[in-house]
Structure formats: C-alpha cells, structure tokens
Amino acid sequence: MTYLVSIDIFMCGIATLLQVWRNKFFGIGLPVVLGCTFTAVGR
C-alpha cells in the first residue's frame, strides 16, 4: 500500500514537470500542480 501511494505521488511530480516544460507537442509552460487521487487505492 505504501509503495502504491509513493509511486502515485512520484508520477504526479513527473507529470507536473512535463507540464512546466514547454514543448511543441505537450506542456503549457505554467506551474500546474497535478495531484493524485486515492480512490484507486481502496482498502
């Protein structure tokens, strides 16, 4: 369970960095902080 939550937060950090990095194909160039949801974690 701890591993699942930590990987989820890590991937949200990578997605946030990809949004900040402005490119021709992806990224908006703004510091948008993407969060994770814990509905997939369950019990």
Q: Where are the domains of the chain?
A: 1-43
Alpha-carbon distances of 38 from 2, 35, 43, rounded to whole Å: 12, 10, 10
Unique residue bearing structure tokens 């949004």: 19
pLDDT of residue 40: 62
Alpha-carbon distances of 37 from 7, 8, 31, rounded to whole Å: 12, 8, 19
pLDDT of residue 19: 79
User: pLDDT tens, 2-38?
Assistant: 787 788 888 888 888 887 887 777 777 777 776 666 6
Give the pTM. Answer: 0.61
Confidence of residue 42 (pLDDT cuts 50, 70, 90): low
Alpha-carbon distances of 12 from 23, 28, 31, rounded to whole Å: 19, 16, 13
